[in-house]
Amino acid sequence: MIWETLIEAAKNKAGEYIIDFAAKKKNWELITKFFTKKDKKRKIIISGSSGVGKSQFVQSLQPQLPQIAIQKRTMGTIEKEANVQGQGIIFLDTAGQSNLKIQIDEFQKTTTDDDYVGIINIVSYGYHYTSTLDIEKDIFEEDKVKNSFLEANKERELEDIRRWLPFLEYSKVKWIITLVNKADIWWKEKVDVHQYYESGEYGQTFENHFQKNYFKKEHLILPYTAIIEPFYNRPNAGLLGDTAKNNLQTYFTSELTRLIEQEKKNK
């Protein structure tokens, strides 16, 4: 129970009532809950090409952020609400063919609207799911994923960030997380994967942009697995177990919590 919340609560009739009620119930959490609802919600944009695991990622937050609940569909975006240390958070997921355009619209809003605190850009080192290719011909060579397929998808990831990084020039968001999803698939190549996103072509693209930039943002690169699942049902995946998956998810949540608390303090 935080003192500020209690003092804030005592300021008005509704607050007094809640304090009374919480005291009767001996449940002080009720006060925090009541006031968090009234507090301004912070927005986080989930970006990334289709098939990298955006929706699955939002799904995976469920056990990590127990209060994640309300889901709302608007034009092109799916909003999911959660509570991180008493702060209401809205995750904005996008779906469909034109999701890059929708994401860019959201990025543009971050220059004028200070509800937006961060961006989680999801990538998957080329292991994108796609429905337009022939699995046998275009994706696999025997049981090995074709290099040409992975390279083409990584190129798509780069094209996407090149398209939207300029829109972040005057953005009010404080941080960007590059979430390298599907670690269960690429775990064996983790050294290369980390290098690629940190200082390879992807990392370079990011760094180059922010050098020119007036507003510096914190950029974290975190490994993640939203779900453990073989890539196109091939038997060779599953290189990372449940414990590791949980550890990656817990680590992500602790970093997210840190960023949100930091942002609240600086407000």
Ligand X SMILES: Nc1nc2c(ncn2[C@@H]2O[C@H](COP(=O)(O)OP(=O)(O)O)[C@@H](O)[C@H]2O)c(=O)[nH]1
CB of 185 to ligand X, least distance (A): 5
Distance CA 48, CA 54 (A): 7
The entry of Mg ion, ligand X, none near residue 51 (CB within 5 to 8 angstroms by kind) is: ligand X
Residue nearest to ligand X (CB): 53
Shortest CB 55 distance to Mg ion, Å: 3
Print the SS3 string covering 36-62.
HHHCCCEEEEEECCCCCCHHHHHHHHH
Task: Name the site residues for ligand X (rule: CB under 6 A).
Answer: 48, 50-56, 129, 181-182, 184-185, 225-227, 229
State the binding partner of 161 from Mg ion, ligand X, none, CB within 5 to 8 A by kind.
none
Q: Are 266 and 118 in contact (CB under 8 A)?
A: no
* Closest to ligand X by CB, 233 or 266: 233
Closer residue to Mg ion (CB): 34 or 224: 224
**Rounded to whole angstroms, how far apart are CA atoms 245 and 224?**
7
Q: Give min distance, CB of 230 to Mg ion, in A.
A: 20
- 52's contact among ligand X, Mg ion, none, with CB below 5 to 8 A by partner kind, is ligand X
CA distances 138 to 83, 129, 163, Å, are: 42, 12, 26
Cβ nearer to Mg ion, comparing 87 with 94? 94
Strands (E), the chain: 42-47, 71-73, 77-84, 87-94, 116-123, 140-141, 144-145, 175-180, 218-223
* Interacting residue ranges for Mg ion, rule: CB under 5 A: 54-55, 95
Cβ closer to ligand X: 5 or 124? 124
